[in-house]
Amino acid sequence: MAENRPERGPVYAMIAEYANVTAAVRAAKQVREAGYTRWDLHSPFPIHGVHKVLGMRPTILPWLTLGGGLIGLLGGLLLVWWTNATMFEGVPTTLQGYPYIVSGKPQFSLPANIAIIFETTVLLAALATVFGVFALNGMPMLYNPLFKSRRFRRVTEDRFFILIDGEDAKFDPRWTRQFLESLDPLSIEQVHLDELEEEESS
């Protein structure tokens, strides 16, 4: 009696394996020209100029950093102004600043507070950058179906992989496989969302 094996889940992606960077980049150009939009090229080392091959759009991360820096600048400026130069009628003492006049100096002096404003600007710009990177990259991602692929493990050693996402508008298991076969890969593998350990023994 045949052993009942669980049905495979939805297709996560289809990957094609290549032995060298030249073949992988050549195939990547054809994938882009074919109109796929959700795909990637995985390599054991950075490939110069690959972002042009992939058609990667400029990231919005610099704008997030700028936004965080501006908020930090304005927030720091408001902080030192409120702390040093405010005293309002009817406002509780705990919410008041400390408008002390020391040696005849003005209550609010921008040059004296540049250091504080600078620090709040850098702090919020850095935080916006860190959390922006996490958000834009979908992190933290503690599991990826690709981790169960024996072939894909060589991507950190000497193999290159082109991945076409299963959610791509043009993705079709049959036609996508035929298309990848036309690009002369070493192998093609279909990866499922609930990839099983059976990949280890097959």
pLDDT cut 90: percent of the chain above it: 41
Structure tokens at 72: 């930090």
Least-confidence region, from 35-49, 99-113, 187-201:
187-201
Residue 6, pLDDT > 60, answer no
pLDDT category of residue 3 using cuts at 50, 70 and 90: very low
Rounded distance between C-alpha atoms, residue 190 and residue 12, angstroms: 8
Residue 173: C-alpha distances to residues 170, 179, 180 (Å): 10, 10, 11
Residue 157: C-alpha distances to residues 32, 42, 81, 191 (Å): 25, 11, 56, 20
Beta-carbon-side half-sphere exposure of residue 147 (alpha carbons within 13 Å): 6
Residue 89, pLDDT > 90, answer no
Q: Give the pLDDT of residue 164.
A: 92
Fill in the amino acid letter for 30.
Q
Q: Is the dihedral of CA 43, 49, 53, 55 positive or negative?
A: positive
Q: Is the dihedral of CA 69, 75, 78, 80 positive or negative?
A: negative
Q: Which residue has the higher pLDDT, 164 or 92?
A: 164
Q: Taking residues 153-162, report their average pLDDT.
A: 91
Rounded distance between C-alpha atoms, residue 182 and residue 179, angstroms: 5
Q: Which residue has the higher pLDDT, 67 or 56?
A: 67
Residue 176: C-alpha distances to residues 24, 26, 39, 47, 130 (Å): 16, 17, 12, 25, 36
| pTM for the structure as a whole | 0.66
pLDDT category of residue 8 using cuts at 50, 70 and 90: low
pLDDT category of residue 199 using cuts at 50, 70 and 90: very low
Q: Taking residues 88-116, report their average pLDDT.
A: 77
Neighbouring-strand partners of residue 163: 15, 40
The candidate with the shortest Cα–Cα distance to 97, out of 89, 88, 106, is 88
Residue 100, pLDDT > 50, answer yes
Residue 154, pLDDT > 80, answer yes
